[in-house]
Amino acid sequence: MHGTDPGDLNEAELIASHDAVVDRLHFLHQQKTMHALLELAIGERLVFEDN
Instruction: State whether the Cα torsion 23-24-30-33 is positive or negative.
Output: negative
DSSP per-residue codes, 7-46:
GG--HHHHHHHHHHHHHHHHHHHHHHHHHHHHT--TT---
CA distance 14 to 4: 10
Q: For position 3, what pLDDT does the model report?
A: 75
Angle made by CA atoms 14, 5, 15, in degrees to the nearest 5? 5
For residue range 1-51, list pLDDT tens digits in order: 567 788 899 999 999 999 999 999 999 999 999 999 999 999 999 888 997
What predicted TM-score, i.e. pTM, was given to this entire model? 0.68
